[in-house]
Amino acid sequence: MNTPQRALAALVAAGLCVGVTAACGRGEQGGPNESGSANSDVRIAIVTRDFTNPYWAALRDGAVAEGKAAGVKVTVQAGENETDSNGENAKISTMSGQDYNCFGVVPVNSTNVITPLAPVARKGVPILNLDTQIDANASQQAGVSYASFIGSDNLAAGRQAAQALMNKIPGGTGKVAILQGIAGEQNGINRQKGFTEASAGKLDVVATQPADYDQAKGQTVTDAILKAHPDIVGIFAANDTMGLGAAQSVRNAGLTGKVTIISVDGITAALQAVKAGTLTGTISQYPYAEGQMAVQACARLVRKQPVPPRVVAPIALIDSSNADKAIAAFPQPFTPYDNPLAAK
Amino acid sequence: VTAAARYAAPLGLAAVFIAFFIATPNFLTPGNISDLLVSAAILLVLAMGQQLVVTVAGIDLSVGSNLPWAAAVLGFAYSRGWGLAASILLALLAGLVVGLVNGLLIARLNMTDFIVTLGSLSVVSGITLLLTSGNTVPVNSDGLRGLALDGIGPIRWFWVVAFLVAALVGFLLFRTRTGTYLLATGGNLDAARESGIHVNRIRLLAYACSGLACGLAAVLFVARTGGADPSLQTSLLLSSIASVVLGGSSLFGGRASVLGSVAGAVLLTSLINGFTLLGISQYYQPIAVGAVVLGAAFISRFQR
């Protein structure tokens, strides 16, 4: 066989391999992103930002687990990273051409998912807005409306973080620093707003720096803040990955225990850090529960049952006193919560 | 020997289409193919700009920040009420300016293309963050939404734009004297200079065109995402280079294939699309894309 034929043969063989392996998976239980049978009356598509952030991976796991439990079809897809607006978009438009009859979407920013959701809305398929609020005006103009918003109250999370910080700092006052998320990201803005409101007049915020929800960046930024303000007694990080970075920085500076650090999210690594004492506390949100609720809400919508327009997912402060319980119960909340969507 | 290698991308595309067709009934449907081509349009436009730069033996890494930069200019102008037409024009201009600066530094000052565009990747990204304060600028325009969703009957506007750009680049490369100069400059810079071609001007042209392509891609990007997102678009940058390489163009210049690059861009988009339909885990997708690029590099060994 001469070379061009050989190259061609290899190509065809490769193509066939892909075809065969993929064909084997057809109609069976899918990978970690899928659950339930294809012929269920409820076929739910959930799209989030990425799976590299444990937060969204937990949302996926919750949705898939609930789909399995309820026997409905659930597929979860995501973009490549926290800011992959176009990639997330492509996933939605690909899925909008399929026969899903309910969508749950976590947007990258307040507008990126509206255009691809327009054809979904036109078909009359119900859409849930998950976790991060989508711009209402722009949605309305594009003819997109949301059956419900399911997410945590990030203002409350910020307030609770401020309360926790004031409780943990000796005397309840002092100089503190804030690590912000990606500029313009609404959840981060709300967390900071809640924090600022609740701590006004009590805590003195001497530094506010963005660290883009990134652990390494959180550490670098905290290094710089500690150099500029060696007398700070507390740090509020708008998410856990930054909080972990701050904890590392504080530890390197030999200040563990002297600087109180509170972050938000409740990812496993943060719970472990709270247990180990490097992180003072985390306001745990429950993306796993959010994923479950999204599937429950979709199931109700498809079966024409009512769903409240706003469902608030639970939050809780995890500190050294309850870290063990939280780790044992993870990814579920360790205390019962009020779920208006639970099957009665 | 060369035949199979030259058509590696179209053949690969056909193989992927057949594989996904066997794997899922949802792939080869008019609705999905329509969406796939729309998804491929932004990458395709970027790949066409990259194609011209690669033809002159260059590389444009600034694509990753030039696109969000042009998008941010569009958002900036639109949010100040300067109207859609003016905003789009400014976005195209913004992309072109970055391309021109790259071209001047590389062609006139003889700086290394890789380093120049790596530098401007970073500088332009910073300027974009300054312009937008790091925030996404919403662009809520029915016109742009129409561009992303509608078309002439089943022909979507995104295809029209992508097709026109590809046709224009193909025409420029293979039907005009400038195209011959581009290929000659990339094939052998010294020989081209000695034969009287203004190689500096030709190289400048290539980078300017790539910048302009970024501007155009930015308009499509804003139309599709409803806003100007200032974050770096690294995956689009890498995919634009991968598309051109997949298409059989030589990174050492002098050999271009517009059809190949188009097939390359559609192939990369098809992989993501098919994997999404099959519900294959996110974590496998970069492996598949990388494997395809490596496969193309392997096949191009047979090319002379």
pLDDT (tens digit, 9 = 90+) per residue, B180-219? 999 999 999 999 999 999 999 999 999 999 999 999 999 9
- Gap between the Cα atoms of B155 and B248, Å rounded: 28
Bridge partner residues of A15 (DSSP): none
pLDDT surpasses 80 at A61: yes
pTM: 0.85
Q: Which two tokens stand for residue B145?
A: 């939404």
Cβ proximity of A186 and A152 under 8 Å = no
Residue with tokens 């597929």: A75
Establish, for the pair of chains A and B, how many residue pairs have beta carbons separated by less than 8 Å: 178
Please, which pLDDT band fits residue A102 given cuts at 50, 70 and 90?
very high
Please, which pLDDT band fits residue A33 given cuts at 50, 70 and 90?
confident
At residue B2, the pLDDT reads 67
Helix (H) or strand (E) holding A264: strand A260-265
- Gap between the Cα atoms of B110 and A56, Å rounded: 47
3-class secondary structure, A205: strand
pLDDT surpasses 60 at B19: yes
Mean pLDDT, range A238-265, rounded to an integer: 94
Q: What percent of chain A has pLDDT over 90?
A: 68
Tell whether B16 lies on the interface with A, counting CB pairs under 8 A: yes
Tell whether B139 lies on the interface with A, counting CB pairs under 8 A: yes
Tell whether B23 lies on the interface with A, counting CB pairs under 8 A: yes
Mean pLDDT, range A263-284, rounded to an integer: 94
| Average pLDDT for chain B | 92
Helix (H) or strand (E) holding B58: none
Q: Which residue has the higher pLDDT, A339 or A253?
A: A253
- Gap between the Cα atoms of A279 and A292, Å rounded: 28
pLDDT surpasses 70 at A5: no
Q: How far is A216 from chain B (nearest CA, A)?
A: 18
Q: What tens digit of pLDDT does each residue of B39-93 get?
A: 999 999 999 999 999 999 999 999 999 999 999 999 999 999 999 999 999 999 9
ipTM: 0.85
At residue A45, the pLDDT reads 95
Q: How far is A321 from chain B (nearest CA, A)?
A: 36
Identify how many contiguous H helices and E strands chain A contains and give both numbers. 12, 13
Compute the residue count for chain B: 304
pLDDT surpasses 80 at B301: no
8 Å CB contact of B223 and A115: yes
Mean pLDDT, range B24-32, rounded to an integer: 91
What is the DSSP track for A92-143?
HHHHHTTT-SEEEE--SSSSTTHHHHHHHHHTT--EEEESSPPPHHHHHHTT
At residue B53, the pLDDT reads 97
Q: How far is A113 from chain B (nearest CA, A)?
A: 6
**Which sign, positive or negative, has the C-alpha torsion B165, B168, B172, B174?**
positive
End-to-end CA distance of chain B, in Å? 8
- Gap between the Cα atoms of A149 and A147, Å rounded: 7
Beta-carbon contacts of A188 under 8 Å, excluding residues fewer than 6 positions away, are: A180, A181, A182, A213, A238, A239
Identify the closest residue of chain B to A80 by CA–CA distance. Answer: B282
Q: What tens digit of pLDDT does each residue of B136-156 get?
A: 888 989 999 999 999 998 899
- Gap between the Cα atoms of B260 and B265, Å rounded: 9
At residue A35, the pLDDT reads 74
Q: Select from A94, A123, A186 the residue whose CB has the most chain B CBs within 10 Å, as the one to mutate to test that interface.
A: A94
